[in-house]
Chains A and B, each alone.
Chain A
Amino acid sequence: MKQLGSLLLAEIIKEHRHSFHSKMIYFSLLVWPVINFVTAYYSFAPFQMGADSPLARFISYEQLPLFLLTGYLGYIFYWCLVQSSWQMSFERQAGTMEMIFISPVNRLAFLYGRSLSSLIEGVWLFFCFVLLALFFVDGIQLSGWWAPPLAFLILLVSAIVWGGFLCVLFLFSRDASFLYTVLDEPMLIFSGVRLPPMAFPVWAKVISFCFPLTYALQLIRELLMEGATLQAMLPSMGLLAAVLLVLVTATVVLLKLAEKHMKKTGNMVMY
């Protein structure tokens, strides 16, 4: 257990040093979400707004900024992890993948360590978000003092599980970056980051239920916008837990398959 902990920590530190070598990135991690959020806000401008807008069937006009803000917060959490797993291909290019798999490192510790490295940016992002939401945006309605920490925990855990799952997918091929497009942008559309999933037709709802972000966002909005009680949130919590469990199982199975595949092809660097 102690060894597992130190492996995890080593991977976190490595990955953090690797992708956060310059201070610029902290700046960009706040600037990008802000620009994307403002862009999303203005992309509603061509539509009819106000009290009689069809949007009111799903969210009230006053809550739109907070709706988008929570959406983008969740999306950025997940997006950091999609990025970090996408950088798995650099591990191949740099030739370090072989070393990792030859060493007696626990594979799962390696995967989740990579994901956890986004913890630091996650904390700082979340802190800025809460400040922003409290001081500038109307419509915030907390379930209690414990709502923000719980929201953070939900985002963190679900994002790490998602990140570990993606890392495994990137183990299979150098040419996996298409997964980045396949998994990143649909998340933005279908998970309810910018548009409420309730508005979607059935087939789109089905897709949106495949992303854990959909459930995480649902919970976060219940916590921060609707002031829901813990009891009222039990069903959504159960759903999220079930989805995460499926993802962890899939990660473990795929990891074994990936290693087998790499042993068979005999080359972890080229293919």
Chain B
Amino acid sequence: MFHVAKATFIRNTRVMIRAYPWSFVIGHIFSGVYTVLFAFFAYHYVFAGQLDENFAHLAGSSDYLSYAILGGAFYAFAVSTLMNVSRSLITELREGTLEAVLLTPSLRRGYFLGNVAQQLMRTLFEFSVIVLVGALFGLTLSQTNVWSAVLVWILSTGAFFCQALVLGSLMLWFRDTYITQNTLFAVMAFVSGVTFPIPYLPEWVQPLGLIMPLAPALDAFRQCVIQGAPLHAVSPQLFHMTALSLVYLVMGVWGIRRMEKRVMESIFG
């Protein structure tokens, strides 16, 4: 399994460096910087730093800039993990290598592990840039509980990976990446508390946030970074995330298997 993972990791990294070096570096840095800029502009220039009186209570802190910047950074992290892992098979299909991947006796687990590892490297880079730029624009990191934040980060990668499996099988089912992924990302940004606390939403929308791993992951991560909460303080969120991951994992593994069969029969048959 690790052979396959390593090979996939190396191949993806080479593709990234040789074919898309600019898209990789500039694309990821920029999208992070915008998130930060937007929060900064809204807070300082448009609203002159005046917050709603409920905000501190709902967000657990009155530090809006840290709240929004972490939200944006974590959202970017979730989106790129979801996108690159779920798109991997359909990209192979488009580039003409899917047949080769499916015909080799390599383990699919290893293939996805390699993809995730490569993805992890990229998002880590992207995330650090956003946090660095964010620190210049008002993100406070002085209270951060580093170890619990890192652990939440790693657990969330797992959760997003499980969700990506489901998304990937949907993509193969519809033979489309565009509509499927963008609809999911738009809904995620709306219901998971990325730029505003979830309780501001109308009550009937709020349950949607419960099925997105991003919501508990972000909540836990913010508590660890902004308030320096230890790991046991965010255990409800971590349980929530683990439960979601398990459900998505079962659905995703089943879905990917079915789709592989379907693709084999309908395309290469």
Contact = CB atoms under 8 A, between A and B. Distances in A.
B142 interface: no
B34 A186 contact: yes
A32 B23 CA distance: 24
Given A39-B195, A189-B34, A201-B45, A46 B50 contact: no
A202 to B, nearest CB: 11
Interface in B40-99: 41-43, 45-48, 50-53, 55, 59, 64, 67, 94-95
Given A174-B19, A175-B20, A175-B23, A46 B51 contact: yes
A173 B26 CA distance: 15
Size bin of chain A's contact surface: 35 or more
Contacts of A42: 190, 195-196, 200-201
20 contacts: A28-B183, A32-B186, A43-B196, A46-B52, A47-B42, A47-B50, A48-B50, A49-B52, A54-B46, A54-B48, A175-B23, A176-B22, A177-B23, A180-B27, A181-B26, A185-B34, A189-B37, A195-B45, A196-B46, A201-B45
A54 B43 CA distance: 10
Given A46-B52, A189-B37, A189-B41, A178 B22 contact: yes
A25 B179 CA distance: 7
Interface of B: 19-27, 30-31, 34, 37-38, 41-43, 45-48, 50-53, 55, 59, 64, 67, 94-95, 174, 176, 178-179, 182-183, 186-187, 189-190, 195-197, 200-201
Given A28-B182, A47-B51, A49-B52, A199 B37 contact: no
Interface centre among A39, A93, A201 (most CB of B within 10 A): A39
Nearest to B56: A46
| Chain A at the B interface: SS class | helix
A55 interface: yes
Contacts of A181: 26-27, 30-31
B41 A204 contact: yes
Nearest to B29: A181
